[in-house]
Amino acid sequence: MHNPFDKTHKICTSETIDYIKKYKKEIDTFEIKDEDTGFKFIYPIKNSNEVVGFLAITFSEQGLTSSLMKQYYVLTNFIIKTDNFSPSYLEKTEKYKAAHFEGFLHNTSIVKELQNISRKDILQIKPTKNISMKIYKEAMKKEPNSIFMYKDNLTTTTIPIINKLTNKQEAFLAILSKEEGLISLTNNYRLILVLFIFLCAAILLALYFQISRSIIEKENLNKIIKKDKQLLEQMKLAQMGEMIGNIAHQWRQPLSMISTAASGLKMKEEFGLLESKDIPEFTDTIVTNAKYLSETIDTFRDFIKENKDTKDTIIQEKIDETLKIIKASLENNHIKLINKVDYSKSLKVEIVGEELAQVLINILNNAKDVIIQRKIEKGAITLDLIMKKNSFQITIEDNAKGIDQEVLPKIFNPYFTTKHQFHGTGLGLYMSKIIVEKHLHGSLEVQNTKKGAKFTITIPLQ
């Protein structure tokens, strides 16, 4: 009986024929034969559910690669295992030659096909042996894969060719393409990366300088604080000496009165001239002046105590308390105090009153010392309180003919003084400015007038 499959066996393997006869359905696979290699689509021809023949359509690997290379900017080739061909066929054929990878062949007809391709620049992407080895290594992973080789500016894609009947990889399709877009993208990425690294470095450098500057500023601040503490201690010692001097001035007259009363009482008693009315008179004088001495001690104690709390302070009252401390010292040096403060309307402000009093004493003492040093006849100091919209000012003006212009800019410098070193430390005006600006949040300024020097203390109401 005639077998309809005898003639077709040359274009299909026996495994393919057996599959169609058994399952009676079409199959598509890749078959390798000496003269007929390619993709095969085989359809059974049936009569009453019996396979009486088949239709086989084959696409050669050359046809597929040629189509890809004509349509796209790629170089393609089929790489086929050597053991799929008979040795006798390979001896006589020029179609397949050894590839770079041992055990594989490539189709030389595909390379010749490049001569007929209109885009001759595609030949520029012909792979080197090194690239071919990378392609073969990726191809044997039995799954489609693409890699980009930046150095060669190539993208290689490998597609494994599997025989569906044996589930073996018979060959693979290699596709090479130039990627101008990828190289541009990679260059942009590298540029962005460089810029990002530069930005990070700049930020880190800025942080380093900021931290270094903060550390230096902190060290400088600590030095300033330490220096201010030392200056404050020196000023306290200087003020203590001035306080003792003021107490001496305050006590001189009442002590004299007490001494006179006691001496007079004793003298009358010794000469037998003491009368009964003399005792109440003399004792009242002694008691009154002793009481004044006690009140003076309380005034000085309140001034020098360490209580520095912020509280509501009536400015006129604080000025009066300050004047009580220095009034006797001014009178004993024949210096007139002209008080222009308006007491009709009390000014209440939330401040550290003791610090304001300390500044007033420093400035008043400075004015007193200059008047004494320059031997000003009819020396006078004028004190006034001026109300502003959001602040108040206290002005202290002397008549000691002003401050030399070359000295004026230095008047608030620490340790600067025009007095003999025995009489001054040069800290009073410096610390006064520090207290006004940093503690009372105001300003302290000085200027020359027609009479002398005028100090202006400006303090905000809030």
Specify the higher pLDDT residue, 216 or 295.
216
160-204 pLDDT per residue, tens = 887 777 778 778 887 777 655 555 555 666 677 777 787 778 888
353 pLDDT tier (thresholds 50, 70, 90) = confident
381: pLDDT strictly greater than 90: yes
Q: What is the DSSP letter of 413?
A: S
Burial class of residue 69 in the structure, from the number of CB atoms within 10 Å of its CB (0-12 exposed, 13-18 middle, 19+ buried): buried
Residue 1 has what pLDDT? 39
Are the CB atoms for 416 and 426 separated by under 8 Å? yes
Which of 448, 411, 446 is CA-nearest to residue 431?
411
Between 52 and 384, whose confidence is greater?
A: 384
List b or e across 380-408, with b for residues whose CB sees 16 or more CB atoms inside 10 angstroms: bbbbbbeeeeeebbbbbbbbbebbeeeee
The pLDDT tens digits of the residues spanning 22-68 come to 777 777 777 777 677 777 777 788 777 777 777 777 777 777 777 77
**Cα–Cα distance, 446 to 423 (Å, whole number):** 22
Percent of the chain with pLDDT over 70: 74
Query: Burial code of 232-264, b = ≥16 C-beta within 10 A, e = fewer?
Result: eebbeebbeebbeebbebbbeebeebbeebeee
Residue 336 has pLDDT above 90, yes or no: yes
For the chain, the average pLDDT equals: 76
Q: Is residue 80 within 8 Å of 105, Cβ to Cβ?
A: yes
Q: Which of 68-82, 119-133, 249-263, 446-460 is predicted with the least confidence, judged by mean pLDDT?
A: 119-133
Report which of 70, 45, 56, 48 is spatially closest to residue 16, judged by C-alpha positions.
56
- Token pair of 146 as six digits: 């693409």
Closest listed residue to residue 402, CA positions, set 357, 447, 355, 432? 447
Element (H, E) at 358: helix 353-373
> Quick one: pLDDT band at residue 397, thresholds 50, 70, 90?
very high
Question: Which residues lie across from 397 on neighbouring strands?
Answer: 382, 454
Q: What is the pLDDT of residue 259?
A: 80
Q: Does the pLDDT value for residue 254 go beyond 50?
A: yes
In a 3-state reduction of DSSP, which class is residue 137? helix
**Identity of the amino acid at 171:** A
Distance between CA atoms of residues 329 and 455, nearest Å: 20
CB-CB contact of 134 with 87 (8 Å) = no
List, in order of start, the domains of the chain with CATH numbers.
Answer: 7-178 (no CATH), 209-305 (1.10.287.130), 306-462 (3.30.565.10)
**pLDDT at position 9, please?**
44
pTM of the predicted model as reported, rounded to 2 decimal places: 0.43
Q: What is the pLDDT of residue 347?
A: 92
Instruction: Name the most confidently modeled range: 14-23, 226-235, 440-449.
Output: 440-449
Choice between 380 and 107, residue whose per-residue pLDDT is larger:
380
From the list 290, 364, 285, the residue with the least C-alpha distance to 328 is 364
